[in-house]
Amino acid sequence: MTVEHVIFDWAGTLTPWHTVDLPGIWRETAAALDEVGADRAAEVGERLLMAERELMTRCRETQCSARLDEVFELAGVNPAARALGVYRQAWEAHTFIDPHALEMLAGLRERGLGIGVLSNTLWPGDWHDEIFERDGVLGYVDAAVYSSEVSWTKPHPDIFAASVAGLGAASAGGCAFVGDRAFEDVYGAQRAGMRTILVPHSSIPEEELGAHGSVPDAAVGTLKDVLTVIDEWNRPGN
């Protein structure tokens, strides 16, 4: 079947994988909370870190989604605007788009293909839209589905179905999924009926590997190579 839509994971795929100091980010965030202060920042930061890990483990094991405000709720603190601003600023350096993404997305658009984003995330969808707008790629995204705004996370089949529906695709078989994880991205997308392209760039911690892994239909060294794979799949006679 001809590929008519290409759907991308965000972190580790459209945005390169970074090793992030999560304890440090949560300490900074905690210190900006009015009810905490510098003397309790380490203790509250640790609670926030543990809450995030608990929720992300739940997401992997049950495919039930979670939101950033649940992290604060589980840690027993209020997500004040100033603290959220500190949190976002601490993450900003890790959010910039891959250098090859703009050229690749433009190439897909020139070929008349639909482009989607499907991401497991705690963050609100508008944060991601702001990132894409900052980096000049928001206009290429026809539809985006973020786990924080639905009930499921990848690899649950319903979140892939939501992405297919958002793009107006006739079926999952006309979609290709590009991601960096064998469990959430490859296993999930193949189970949903999509072809898959793995971008094996991420140093994924062992505890985040998930219960299942699948062999992708293709693997690429850089995002610009996605165009080569799609062209081959869409070549007459294939």
DSSP track, the chain: ----EEEE-TBTTTB------HHHHHHHHHHTSTTT-GGGHHHHHHHHHHHHHHHHHHHHHH-B---HHHHHHHHT----HHHHHHHHHHHHTT-PPPTTHHHHHHHHHHTT-EEEEEE--SS-HHHHHHHHHHTT-GGG-SEEEEGGGSSB-TT-HHHHHHHHHHHT-S-GGGEEEEES-IIIIIIHHHHTT-EEEE-------GGGS-S-----SEE-SSTTHHHHHHHHHTSTT-
Which H, E and C letters describe 129-143, residue by residue?
HHHHHHCCCHHHCCE
Nearest CA to 116 out of 154, 188, 174, 166 is that of 166
Tokens 């840690």 correspond to 75
**Residue 124: domain span:** 5-18+95-233
Residue 34 confidence (pLDDT): 76
Task: Decide: pTM greater than 0.85.
Answer: yes
One domain, residues 104 and 39: no
Residue 212 confidence (pLDDT): 65
CA-based angle 51:56:61, to the nearest 5? 125
Residue 79 confidence (pLDDT): 87
Asked whether residue 198 is assigned to any structural domain, the reply reads yes
Residue 211 confidence (pLDDT): 58
One domain, residues 78 and 35: yes
| Domain final residue, candidates 92, 121, 149 | 92
User: How many domains is the chain partitioned into structurally?
Assistant: 2
The order of strands in the sheet holding 175-179 is 143-146, 114-119, 5-8, 175-179, 195-198, 218-219
Alpha-carbon distance of 183 to 188, in angstroms, equals 7
Residue 214 confidence (pLDDT): 80
Tens of pLDDT along the chain (238 residues) come to: 899 999 999 999 999 888 899 999 999 999 998 777 677 899 999 999 999 999 999 998 899 999 999 999 999 998 889 999 999 999 999 999 999 999 999 999 999 999 999 999 999 999 999 999 999 999 999 999 999 999 999 999 999 999 999 999 999 999 999 999 888 999 999 999 999 999 987 566 565 555 566 889 999 999 999 999 999 999 987 7
Tokens of 140: 């290429």
Alpha-carbon distance of 44 to 61, in angstroms, equals 26
One domain, residues 88 and 100: no
Instruction: Examine residue 23 and say whether the peptide bond preceding it is cis (omega within 30 degrees of 0).
Output: no
One domain, residues 57 and 109: no
One domain, residues 26 and 126: no
Asked whether residue 35 is assigned to any structural domain, the reply reads yes
One domain, residues 116 and 129: yes
One domain, residues 164 and 208: yes
Task: Kindly compute the dihedral angle of the four CA atoms of residues 19, 88, 37, 22, in this order, to the nearest 10 degrees.
Answer: -20
Residue 163 confidence (pLDDT): 98
Residue 176 confidence (pLDDT): 98
One domain, residues 9 and 60: no
